[in-house]
Amino acid sequence: MTRVGETELLPGGKPLKRVVFSADEIRARVEELGDEVSRAYDSSEGVLVIGLLKGSFIFMADLVRNIRLPVSVDFLVASSYGAEKTSSGNVRLLYDPEASLRDRDVLLVEDIVDSGHTLNELIPQLMARRPRSLEVCALLHKRVARLDREPRWVGFDAPEEFLVGYGLDFAEDFRHLPFIGSI
């Protein structure tokens, strides 16, 4: 970032309104979430962690390094935003997990719960695969969605602003930032 007068600029000149969660705050909370998840599962069997790409990849990588039990990892890709700042409401599954969910403890990792459309569409699809359990861990939750099922673990309650960084993007930019900021 560069400073121009009193305005912080992100790469590409996009203005940053403010840093919402610092890298240190995120690191500490992800460590806590790893502890909470570790205590929730039978450590002898472990958990299948499925990251909802693309936004969750940085959070998921840090989270699984903080889970102290056997972990298998897979991904799925669903899209409802495209290049817009609001969800279209049309959730498209672009990549399906290859791992079997049947009779396994599954943890779906989400970057942000905003409209709730993605979770409301995906959870029934994943439950149809008959996991032993299915829980959601979201880094951020705006608390505005009407969810059929709330995440079991939430990193932070998020403001109703458009957020970028730590995996969150705007039109595929800003995922690399080590903090979460508002644009």
Q: Are strands 18-21 and 92-95 parallel, antiparallel or unpaired?
A: unpaired
Q: Domain for residue 58, yes or no? A: yes
User: How many CA atoms does the CB half-sphere of 34 hold within 13 Å?
Assistant: 19
Position 90 scores a pLDDT of 67
| Residues designated as active site | 114
113 residue type, one letter: V
Q: Domain for residue 4, yes or no? A: no
Q: Are strands 180-182 and 18-21 parallel, antiparallel or unpaired?
A: antiparallel
Tokens found for residue 134 = 């299915």
Mapped onto helix, strand or coil, the DSSP state of residue 161 is coil
Mean pLDDT of the chain: 87
What average pLDDT score do residues 140-154 get? 92
> 136 is in which domain, residue-wise?
40-80+90-105+114-160
Residue 104 has pLDDT above 80, yes or no: yes
Q: Domain for residue 33, yes or no? A: no
CATH number at residue 122: 3.40.50.2020
Position 171 scores a pLDDT of 86
Q: Are strands 2-4 and 7-9 parallel, antiparallel or unpaired?
A: antiparallel
Alpha helices in 47-116 (DSSP H): 57-65
What average pLDDT score do residues 38-52 get? 90
Note the pTM of the prediction, 2 decimals: 0.86
Q: What's the gap between Cα 83 and its chain centre?
A: 18
Tokens found for residue 8 = 């912080």
Please give the tally of structural domains in the chain: 1
